[in-house]
Amino acid sequence: MAYPVHPIDYRYGTPEMKRIWSENSKIKRMIRVEIALLRALSEMGYFEADISKIKRKTLKINPDDVRKIEDEIKHDIMALVKAISNVLDDDSARWVHFGATSNDIIDTATATQLRDSTKVFESKLRNLIFLLAKKAEEYRDVICLGRTHGQPALPTTYGFRFALWTSEMMRHFQRLQQLKERLLVGQMSGAVGTQAGFGKDGIKIEKRVMELLNLKPSEISSQIIPRDIYNEYIEFLANFSATLEKIATNLRILQRGEVGELSEKFEKKQVGSSTMPHKRNPIDSENICGLARIVRGFVEPQHQSSILWEERDLTNSSAERIILAEATVLADHILTKMIKVISNLTLNTSAIERNLTAQKGLNLSEAVMIELTKRGVGRQTAHEILRESSLRAYEESKSLLEVLKENKDVLKYITAEELEKILKPENYLGTSMERVDAILKKVRELLNTAQ
């Protein structure tokens, strides 16, 4: 009887990514690497074989049979070699794993997992970028209260916020394109990387094996692929996970009862609390935040896994069995979750207007300060006038406009009618609309060129 322990087994992760990183998938992929090696050797005249027949036989191997052999001999790759050899004729069997070392098979199989994983990430990043850009366009003109330090600041727009997040996700998409060139490499280099077992044919054999697996050969490697490549991959996952947490954190803040400007989708039969029936908790955004921290936590152990003795030791192996699979599955999980959140997000325009007008113009003090400076008041003097006026407005529960209309130092330069115009949020948005439009244009260009 199986006893699932890890939440990935029963709670987190998408079926498509878990299939890629399952143990059975890894065994099947390692078999395909061994088949590719046999084919390369056959094509180069080492032996004659019907590769199609070899492929049919070996791909029928049950991963459980490999595990049973490993239980006896305590070596996973030699168990794989024995399982393959057992289903082949003697002449073909003697060439299984010829010239290779364990990590030629392991690392190359891992490269196929990374290749398929990056395809999934690429597709979902494109989807999220499109959704964020769509929201940026939809909410381009929705003026809202900006906040810094959690306190009221200048007005901005929801389109600007979504454009900012869109821009950040586009950079992650570009990073993935650049990363793939270095990441999707395999090796067939032998015990210490010299390809001694293959002799002078080593470079040709390695190149052919990688062609058959739709990979590139590693530029140079010891017994294993240099781990700076894996470091960069985990850093990429950590980086875009941090952006997802940043977005989710802000969505959570904007869903707070006293803010109420946004809402995640809440299902008809969904329960928010076991004791408070009214609760509508932002559980998807909270889930993203929690798991993003786990993904980022893998950065340091992966870096340590790249610090190995001479041609290699085994300290990376056990750690990477956990790091690569878990980080990938969890990063995909929260990316998928964010797509769901953004797809179903709704704006509460009445709350947005309420929060904006509740400031009584105080959040536009800079606009008046800037105008005073333009009209001849020293900038620092103007700042002090507005600081004192704002304090008075706070203390007397007045609007900034009311206070400024009573200030002779201000009225000397700006009329009451002009103040009313200056203190309208829509008149102090700077280049926000143009910047949103620029991001939307860039999104179209990026997604078109990445087809």
> In three state form, how does the secondary structure of the chain look?
CCCCCCHHHHCCCCHHHHHHHCHHHHHHHHHHHHHHHHHHHHHCCCCCCCHHHHHHHHCCCCHHHHHHHHHHHCCHHHHHHHHHHHCCCHHHHCCCCCCCCHHHHHHHHHHHHHHHHHHHHHHHHHHHHHHHHHHHHHCCCCEEEEEECCEEEEEEEHHHHHHHHHHHHHHHHHHHHHHHHHHCEECCCCCCCCCHHHHHHHHHHHHHHHHHCCCEECCCCCCCCCCHHHHHHHHHHHHHHHHHHHHHHHHHHHHCCCCCCEECCCCCCCCCCCCCCCCCCCHHHHHHHHHHHHHHCCHHHHHHCCCCCCCCCCHHHHHHHHHHHHHHHHHHHHHHHHHHHHHCCEECHHHHHHHHHCCCCHHHHHHHHHHHHHCCCCHHHHHHHHHHHHHHHHHHCCCHHHHHHCCHHHHCCCCHHHHHHHCCHHHCCCCHHHHHHHHHHHHHHHHHHCC
Query: Catalytic pick from 52, 149, 274, 397?
Result: 149
Say if residues 216 and 309 touch (Cβ distance below 8 Å).
no
Say if residues 15 and 25 touch (Cβ distance below 8 Å).
no
Can you say whether residue 226 is alpha, beta or left, with left for phi > 0 and alpha for psi between -120 and 50 degrees? beta
Say if residues 44 and 205 touch (Cβ distance below 8 Å).
yes
Query: Catalytic pick from 6, 75, 123, 273?
Result: 273
Say if residues 348 and 134 touch (Cβ distance below 8 Å).
no
- CA nearest 199: which of 109, 98, 103? 98
273 catalytic residue (yes or no): yes
C-alpha–C-alpha distance, residues 5 and 282, integer Å: 26
Report CA 400 to chain centroid distance, whole Å.
Answer: 44
- CA nearest 439: which of 140, 239, 37, 222? 140
C-alpha–C-alpha distance, residues 6 and 12, integer Å: 9
Catalytic positions are: 149, 273
